[in-house]
Amino acid sequence: MGKAQPEKGLKAAKKMLQEFPVIGEPRAEKILLCAKLAPIAAVLSAFVHVPTRLFAAEPGKNYAADYRAAREILDWGLPRTFEARQKAYQLLKKHGQETCKRSKPGCQACPLTAQCAYFQAKAGDNNTE
């Protein structure tokens, strides 16, 4: 059965969770991560812009594409452990709530500007004007 079997079970679990009202893909992935059923690189639906800004600069205009991009960024950059992915989930949530707000990011107060692709791109735009 090989490696395809766990992926099949993961898809089935997500599909089953999504049958409940108000549970979309982001919440289903959060449940699987927090319950330690699968070390998914879960992304908060309200803060999809945070990993996108940090690692890829400007979020796009398509939520589904941004969500997939954010999940891929985290999946690629994080160890495949529950602890690492749960910690990242909590830190990205806090950062999105307190500093990296969707409409008015607080870049001037952000401790991550030296590594932030969004901030670096904005700084580059300001230098060309």
Helix spans in the chain (H): 4-17, 25-34, 49-56, 63-77, 82-98, 117-128
- Amino acid 114 reads A
> Domain tally for the chain?
1
Average pLDDT over residues 40-67: 89
The residue behind tokens 């401790």 is: 111
pLDDT cut 90: percent of the chain above it: 72
The CATH number linked to 68 is: 1.10.1670.10
Mean pLDDT of 54-70: 88
The whole-angstrom separation of Cα 42 and Cα 71 is 7
Q: What is the pLDDT of residue 3?
A: 52
Contacts of 124 (CB under 8 A, 6+ apart): none
pLDDT at 61 over 60: yes
Q: Are 59 and 52 in contact, with CB atoms under 8 Å apart?
A: yes
pLDDT bracket for residue 2 (50, 70, 90): very low
Domain around 36: 4-128
